[in-house]
Structure 1
Amino acid sequence: MGIGQLAGFAGATVVLVGMPGPNNTYISLRSLTQGRRAGVVSALAVETGTLVYIVVTALGLATLVQASPKLFTAITVAGALYLAYLGLKLLKAPAADHSAGIQAAPLGRIFRDGVVVNLLNPKAALFFLAFLPQFTTRGAGPAQLRTEMLLLGVGALLIGITLDLSYAIGADAIGRRFRSVRTTTRARNLVVAAIYLGLSAFALVSAL
């Protein structure tokens, strides 16, 4: 891989990772409604999911998913259903029960949900299945190909955590005003739930 190729990879990764999607939306909503700390935990959780993708790619399991459109569709549908689950959980939260809403979610739960959202994010899967291989050396042997994919994955991880933290900090700045508005927990949950359910519907339509 030459310098020009790496520069192209970095630029394209910034665009792809920075585009709105389930990961960025999850981080922004957590930071918006619960504050910077929750947003940072969300960002770290999402990139923990990226680490899993890097390991899967290194083991060659990504090729299996790439060769099976049905498996990829199943991952997409599972991701959409998980987003719907997060939305429905908020809709069911009693108005007076702050512990059930997104605003009082424990950091452990925020981290767990962030990892799952990324693992079931079709954009993340496509990134490692279709995008990364384009920047590897043509004709490279298995060992070299694995090494290059690992290096590209680590580069994507560093870019991703930088952008994710930017989303978290930016959303927190906006969220300070959002959280100061005199609205009920129920009303805020409805807004966030609607966003989750909208993302879920979009993902399902794209998969089916």
Structure 2
Amino acid sequence: MPDAVNLSLFLAAAMLLLIVPGPNMAFVMSHSLAHGWRGGLAAALGISCSDLVMTFMVSAGVGTIVMSWAPAFELLRIGGACYLMWLAWQAVKKPARKQGCEVKLESFGSIFIRGMLNSLLNPKALLFFMVFLPQFVALGRGSISFQLIFLGSLLALIALVFHAVLGVVAARLGRTLREPRNRPLANYAFAAVMAAMAARLILFERPT
């Protein structure tokens, strides 16, 4: 178990990282605006589950093996960008296809999977876990793997609560957008966010 000092620093760093606007925050808010608080909660759960997956990858050393293969970063980056652009295209097609009829909201499960893939297909998310978690491990305080899993699980839990609250707030603000007459605008706004995230992944998320 990490000592009290490391744990306190970890909690402070985690909260600071969460409140800084980033792709996960944009992802949760866009789904909350488009699908209500359930959409935001599903996205938050998906992101937190991906955090747990990456935590276990780091603990088991899989993350290091994956990222040591030179093309892995580029494949994940391009794959993630293509996935986000596909989501944007699907959103753009909806207004034309469903004009004049009641629009069916995305299922909880599909948004949950989107949340997981959004994080898992961002190579710098895995690099972040590989760099961030070990800083707060206390040598001589038990198994390093256990400490990494504990810290990663704690981060996933904090992120889940933060993003769930953010989703509820965004959903309240987005009620007007979800009215049938404004639905095309909501879909275009969602598509714009997904496209912007894809552009960010291609243009700025390069290996350093």
Of 200, 204, 207 in structure 1, the residue corresponding to residue 202 of structure 2 is 204
1:1-208 to 2 correspondence within 5 Å? 1-97=2-98, 104-138=105-139, 144-180=143-179, 182-183=181-182, 185-208=183-206
Asked whether the equivalents of residues 92 and 188 of structure 2 are also in contact (C-alpha less than 8 Å), the reply is yes
Report the Cα distance in structure 1 between the residues aligned to 2:15 and 2:103, rounded to whole angstroms: 29
Post-superposition Cα deviations, 1:30-88, rounded to whole Å, max 9, x if no partner, equal 11121111211221122121221122222210121343453223222222221111111
Report the Cα distance in structure 2 between the residues aligned to 1:202 and 1:12, rounded to whole angstroms: 24
Post-superposition Cα deviations, 1:124-152, rounded to whole Å, max 9, x if no partner, equal 323211111111235x69x8221111111
Give the counterpart letter for 1:48 in structure 2: C
Q: Structure 2 length as normaliser, TM-score?
A: 0.85
**Residue 10 of structure 1: SS of its match in structure 2?**
helix
Asked whether the equivalents of residues 22 and 121 of structure 1 are also in contact (C-alpha less than 8 Å), the reply is no
Asked whether the equivalents of residues 23 and 121 of structure 1 are also in contact (C-alpha less than 8 Å), the reply is no
Give the counterpart letter for 1:27 in structure 2: V
How far 1:97 sits from its partner (Å)? 1.9
Q: Structure 1 length as normaliser, TM-score?
A: 0.85
Moved more, 174-183 or 14-23: 174-183
Give the counterpart letter for 2:88 in structure 1: G
Moved more, 22-31 or 152-161: 22-31
How far 1:93 sits from its partner (Å)? 2.8
Asked whether the equivalents of residues 50 and 157 of structure 1 are also in contact (C-alpha less than 8 Å), the reply is yes
Q: Which runs of 5+ in 1 are unaligned?
A: none
Report the Cα distance in structure 2 between the residues aligned to 1:102 and 1:61, rounded to whole angstroms: 42
Report the Cα distance in structure 2 between the residues aligned to 1:50 and 1:108, rounded to whole angstroms: 17
**Residue 21 of structure 2: SS of its match in structure 1?**
coil
Report the Cα distance in structure 1 between the residues aligned to 2:186 and 2:63, rounded to whole angstroms: 38
Give the counterpart letter for 2:168 in structure 1: I
**Residue 176 of structure 1: SS of its match in structure 2?**
coil
